[in-house]
Amino acid sequence: MEALRERLAASGQEHLLAFWNDLSPTDQKEFVADLSSIDFSEALSHFEHACANMKEMQTKKDDRLKPFPEEQIASVARSSPKELDNWRESGLKEIGAGHVAVLLLAGGQGTRLGVDYPKGMYDVGLPSGKTLYQLQAERILKLEQLAGNRGKVPWYIMTSEHTQGKTIEFFEKHGYFGLDPKNVVFFEQAMLPCMDFNGKVILAEKGKVARAPNGNGGLYKALKTHKILEDMKMRGVTCMHVYCVDNILVKMADPVFVGYCTERKADCGAKVVQKAFPTEAVGVVCICDDKFQVVEYSEITLETAQKRSLDGRLVFHAGNICNHFFTVDFVMSVVEKHEKDLQHHVAKKKIPHVDEKGMVVKPTQPNGVKIEKFVFDVFEFAKNFQLLEVLREDEFSPLKNGPGAEKDTPESARQSLMNLHYRYMLAAGGSFRDESGQTLPLIPLRRSNSQSSFLIECEISPLVSYSGEGLEDLVKDKYFKSPCHLNGSVEKENGESKPKRKRLSSK
């Protein structure tokens, strides 16, 4: 005990033993193991560097910024159909050759959603009842089919102490959603102790330290710890698509994105969306101090945020959506040479803790910090960095907050997906009618009078179509009613028979 007390005192953390005498011998033993696993000197160093970085981020960077080079940006909306088809075919070729993996960042908890399980298990209320994990798994299955079933797309899922067990159990319960378990690889990111604003480690319980995942930038340390890059090399993987679990519209290993990056010989790539308005709370990909970086909206003045080019677009318009392409060789160089150089960042959070009486308190205001690294902080090490600008309504709708919040909710995620699928159906020649037989408008509306309001409910299974392809034979010149679920079953919405084809059903 004396040795332990001395070690804690050396880092100013002796308060952690305040409830030692309240613990049973078994709890004391577990607590000692918990404390012994923490390098308090290192944790305090991370805290100090993160706080210094936070102060630096509060300094406006306007004079240090340059827009991302236009010659290194392509836009889906401004590219010709031929260009998009060429990229798509090139990407499918890479996928069919087994060169592409997908890597999911799924270490965060569903706290802001109001649930005690991983975000990927969340059901936003689609007609099918599918969770984020199932939608993503089925997109991989369909992608493999589009690539001619010539190769498999391994799925690497980075979890944390909070999400690992429940995630694996969920996949096992659902038979890995049709994927080969050998091609689904789980690995766990590291945890760091949470601290109050003075650098004191927080107790979650009388005999347990409060910990949190070390951010999505903890990926690089985890890749090394669990030898994931070696596993990719063994499988013949040369590049990977890295993304966050909460984007319901994410295109797994999007062939267009993969083809674009490989044809331009990029070692690092990112999908971006145009900022919706100058003050939108989203980081922008740009050049800062002659390095590729993501600069947060709070780091630039309103004047700079509002700057526009001659074509009317914002000068700093490339909104980061955590959707990245990396070659395996690039990530390996980051892991071997630069991982320790990545900055730590402070995230102010509401962290449950024990008060002076040993009672667990759930604060209503931020009371401490979690120390994190960001996955995109490796951009500065890229030798050939490329951006692909995509349409927000097609590819980005994050699920971050619980029902009824202002934005990024289950309701908004659900409606974003159904609106996208509705557009797929219309583009393939289908139409929708209401109960009275009236054709519904091309753009779904919500009218002010709730009795006459309507929103189209339309869901297409990823097993039927990855991104709108292959629908004409199923929907052209046919009418459907909302809610509609296109899932490949035997019953068709319009009641006509059409043997030996995939059928439509509606719930």
C-alpha 429/C-alpha 440 separation (Å) is 14
Query: Is 416 contained in some domain?
Result: yes
- Are 227 and 171 contained in the same domain? yes
Domain boundary among 361, 395, 429: 395
- Are 49 and 59 contained in the same domain? no
Query: Is 245 contained in some domain?
Result: yes
Secondary structure of residue 476 in the 3-state scheme? coil
pLDDT in the model for residue 384:
98
Query: Is 495 contained in some domain?
Result: no
Query: Is 282 contained in some domain?
Result: yes
- Are 37 and 170 contained in the same domain? no
C-alpha 121/C-alpha 131 separation (Å) is 5
Find where tokens 């674009």 sit. Answer: 260
Name which of 253, 233, 231 is nearest 242 in CA terms.
Answer: 253
Query: Is 107 contained in some domain?
Result: yes
pLDDT in the model for residue 446:
56
Give yes or no for residue 505 having a pLDDT over 80: no
pTM (predicted TM-score) = 0.91
**Peptide bond before residue 483 is cis, with ω within 30 degrees of 0:** yes
Name which of 223, 220, 235, 8 is nearest 99 in CA terms.
Answer: 235
pLDDT in the model for residue 482:
86
pLDDT digits (tens, 9 = 90+) for 206-242: 999 999 999 999 999 999 999 999 999 999 999 999 9
- Are 48 and 9 contained in the same domain? yes
- Are 19 and 160 contained in the same domain? no
List the structure tokens of 443: 């753009």
Share of the chain above pLDDT 90, in %: 79
C-alpha 96/C-alpha 259 separation (Å) is 12
C-alpha 69/C-alpha 338 separation (Å) is 24
- Are 122 and 180 contained in the same domain? yes
Q: With bands split at pLDDT 50, 70 and 90, how would you rate the model's confidence at 440? A: confident
C-alpha 102/C-alpha 81 separation (Å) is 26
Q: Taking residues 113-131, report their average pLDDT.
A: 94
pLDDT digits (tens, 9 = 90+) for 351-403: 999 999 999 999 999 999 999 999 999 999 999 999 999 999 999 999 999 99
Domain assignment of residue 367, given as a range: 55-395
Secondary structure of residue 91 in the 3-state scheme? helix
pLDDT in the model for residue 455:
73
Query: Is 504 contained in some domain?
Result: no
pLDDT in the model for residue 435:
80
Q: Taking the CA of residue 206 as centre, how many other CA atoms within 13 Å lie in the half-sphere pointing to its CB?
A: 14
C-alpha 441/C-alpha 465 separation (Å) is 23
Name which of 342, 364, 341, 340 is nearest 353 in CA terms.
Answer: 364
- Are 341 and 203 contained in the same domain? yes
pLDDT in the model for residue 59:
83
Q: Of all helices (H) and strands (E), which one includes residue 96?
A: helix 81-96
C-alpha 111/C-alpha 113 separation (Å) is 5
Q: Taking residues 44-49, report their average pLDDT.
A: 89
Name which of 56, 16, 401 is nearest 211 in CA terms.
Answer: 16
Name which of 11, 22, 81, 70 is nearest 45 in CA terms.
Answer: 11
Find out whether 364 and 209 touch, Cβ atoms under 8 Å.
Answer: no
Provide CB contacts within 8 A for 332, sequence distance 6+. Answer: 229
C-alpha 186/C-alpha 338 separation (Å) is 24
Handedness of CA 213, 345, 219, 282 (dihedral sign): positive
Find out whether 229 and 223 touch, Cβ atoms under 8 Å.
Answer: yes
pLDDT in the model for residue 270:
98
Mean pLDDT of the chain: 91
Give yes or no for residue 320 having a pLDDT over 80: yes
- Are 29 and 90 contained in the same domain? no
Query: Is 175 contained in some domain?
Result: yes
Q: Measured between alpha carbons, how far apart are the two ends of the chain, in Å? A: 64
- Are 7 and 100 contained in the same domain? no
- Are 224 and 305 contained in the same domain? yes
pLDDT in the model for residue 72:
96
Q: Taking residues 115-140, report their average pLDDT.
A: 96
List the structure tokens of 452: 């006459």
CATH number at residue 261: 3.90.550.10
C-alpha 94/C-alpha 116 separation (Å) is 38
Give yes or no for residue 495 having a pLDDT over 60: no
Q: What is the dihedral of CA 79, 85, 87, 90, to 10 degrees?
A: -170
Q: How many domains does the chain have?
A: 3
Q: Taking residues 435-453, report their average pLDDT.
A: 64
- Are 314 and 349 contained in the same domain? yes
DSSP string, 196-233: -TTSPBPEEETTEE-EEE--GGGHHHHHHHTTHHHHHH
Q: Higher model confidence: residue 488 or residue 43?
A: 43
- Are 248 and 192 contained in the same domain? yes
Give yes or no for residue 507 having a pLDDT over 80: no
Residues in the chain: 507
pLDDT digits (tens, 9 = 90+) for 177-216: 999 999 999 999 999 999 999 999 999 999 999 999 999 9
C-alpha 433/C-alpha 440 separation (Å) is 5
C-alpha 331/C-alpha 11 separation (Å) is 34
- Burial-class residue 468 by CB neighbours within 10 Å (0-12, 13-18, 19+): middle
Q: With bands split at pLDDT 50, 70 and 90, how would you rate the model's confidence at 445? A: low
Number of H-type helices and E-type strands within the chain: 14, 23
Secondary structure of residue 330 in the 3-state scheme? helix
Q: Taking the CA of residue 357 as centre, how many other CA atoms within 13 Å lie in the half-sphere pointing to its CB?
A: 3
Query: Is 505 contained in some domain?
Result: no
Name which of 300, 303, 305 is nearest 317 in CA terms.
Answer: 305
